[in-house]
Amino acid sequence: MAVDERVSVLMVSMSLQGHINPMFKFAKHLLSKGVQVTIATTEDGRDRMLKNTKSSNLTDNTNLNNSGNDSGIKLVFFSDGLSLDFDRSDTESMVNSIREKGPKNLSTLITNLTKVHNYSCAIVNPFVPWAINVVVEHGIPCALLWIQACASYSIYYRYLKNIDPFPNLDDLDEKVHLPGLPPFEVKDSPSFILPSTPYHFRHVIRELFEAVDKVNWVLGTSCYEIEEEIVNSMASLTPIYPVGPLVSPFLLGEKERSDVSVDMWSAEDFCIEWLDTMPSSSVIYVSFGSLLVLSQKQVDNIAAALKNSNKAFLWVIKPSDGESHDAVELPVEFLEETKERGLVVKWCPQEKVLMHPSVACFITHCGWNSTLETVVTGVPVIAWPFWTDQPTNAMLMEKVFHNGVRVKCGEDDIVSTEEIERCIKDVTEGPRAGEIKKRAMEMKLSSHKTLQEGGTSNKNINHFIIDLIARYPARA
């Protein structure tokens, strides 16, 4: 499908890695169909993005100059109201500042942009909900790109719109029963609806679902094949249309289309050469994403379990932010005793790691981007969720996808050495290991087809573009 080259969309997101990358992935699908794309994001990510973004056709177009590269994604920036050197790990200040200053700054940017472009649509990230009102006030039709599982969308929607009864959310062990989902416990809900979650996070998600009625399309980064019943259950409410899995094209076997992604840290690529030396399906890959920092006790337990497993491992331990309470150290004896079969790095090219044949399983925090990557690579998982949508994703892996096992935390929220060892054994050599691997490979095959010609996600993208042109022809 190709469309008139004048069709343009504007995407809006904060520059957090897990937020902006799905935007880039979807932008490339739109570009491949002839749609022009501009991504507006916060200024704090400008330097990191332009230095570390993996693409030859991105341009910093902040001054709206014609760079001679109209075939690529244009990047524009607006302030979140904080200085560039502000520590954005202070999430409350960051969220409150962008809610207060973001609307005016984005509106000014859009005013300047629309002197040059007519946008057929603005596609907004869920975590800048105020942007919906801004783009609507500018007369631009709005779409929401939901960057979590369709299951999380359904739970949030049904709770915040009072569609279905929910139990007491203070009791984390209470059962929740919703259409399209197996029964699950309150603690498996996305944490932004739980009373224990800080108010500024709960307010963001509540603000989003108050504004969602102004959105013309809800698009999901998932794919229909892995969340079929959940997607169907939302059809009579506010439907969600999966357009994923939004991952790098090479994970789906595509060679011809360039990729765009942002890595906020420098990956240590030598780990791929190390994986090349390891036998097939022999390596345990451990990573908890770009934000989480584990306690010293938890690191010690993981180290003991990996040592006791007698299996090869690749462990990503993100550097601390310099605060003493965040600094953790690996036991010296652990490094010495496992040096022949283990590799510890600060960051790695995760997609390349997951598609490597030597990887046997992935111990993951269950971030949605990582979850999609496990699906398309067919890697069994050990689900270890912490907060936000991660418990819901872990529930999906355990009860819907059946592509892994889930750790059980102790009363102190620490996972014991013995429990980690149990999960490693279950997913690599236990009685269910073969069944888990088989299911993981089945999901891999179905997810690879969905973005191909005639696939469900490809059809949804085409229908979105056709609908956009048909309903708003004056902008095309």
Q: Tens digits of per-residue pLDDT, 274-301?
A: 999 999 999 999 999 877 788 899 999 9
Mean pLDDT of the chain: 89
Alpha helices, H only, 182-243: 199-211, 228-233
Its pTM stands at 0.91
pLDDT at 66: 34
Tell me: the pLDDT tens digits for 328-379? 889 889 999 998 999 999 989 999 999 999 999 999 999 999 999 999 999 9
Q: What is the mean pLDDT of residues 126-141?
A: 97
- Helix, strand, or coil (residue 311): coil
Cα–Cα distance for residue pair 60/49, rounded to 1 Å? 10
Cα–Cα distance for residue pair 445/378, rounded to 1 Å? 8
Which is more confident, 217 or 66? 217
* Cross-strand pairs, 121: 9
What is the number of alpha carbons within 13 Å of residue 105 lying toward its C-beta? 20
CA angle at 14 for the pair 12 and 18, rounded to the nearest 5°: 110
Asked whether residue 470 carries a pLDDT value surpassing 50, the answer given is yes
In 3D space, the residue among 231, 208, 202, 186 whose CA is nearest the CA of residue 391 turns out to be 186
- Helix, strand, or coil (residue 39): strand
pLDDT at 473: 61
- Token pair for 327: 């600094």
- Residues in CB range of 185: below 8 A, 6 or more apart: 172, 173, 174, 175, 176
Domains of the chain: residue spans and CATH: 8-244+450-475 (3.40.50.2000), 270-447 (3.40.50.2000)
Q: Which helix (H) or strand (E) holds 373?
A: helix 368-377
In 212-358, the DSSP E strands lie at 217-220, 241-242, 283-287, 312-316, 342-345
- Residues in CB range of 323: below 8 A, 6 or more apart: none
Cα–Cα distance for residue pair 43/14, rounded to 1 Å? 9
Tell me: the pLDDT tens digits for 48-105? 776 655 554 555 654 333 333 344 899 999 999 988 888 888 889 999 999 999 999 9
- Helix, strand, or coil (residue 195): coil
In 3D space, the residue among 95, 25, 147 whose CA is nearest the CA of residue 393 turns out to be 147
- Residues in CB range of 250: below 8 A, 6 or more apart: 259, 351, 355
- For 179-200, give one letter per residue: b (16+ CB within 10 A) or e: ebbeebebbbbbbbbbeebeee
- For 209-231, give one letter per residue: b (16+ CB within 10 A) or e: bebbeebebbbbbbbbbbbeebb
Terminal-residue alpha carbon distance, the chain: 16
Per-residue DSSP letters for 284-310?
A: EEEE-TTT----HHHHHHHHHHHHHHT
Q: Which residue has the tokens 């420098």?
A: 266
Question: Per-residue confidence at 117, pLDDT binned at 50, 70, 90?
Answer: confident
Is residue 350 a contact partner of residue 342, using CB atoms and an 8 Å limit?
no
Asked whether residue 318 carries a pLDDT value surpassing 90, the answer given is no
pLDDT at 67: 34
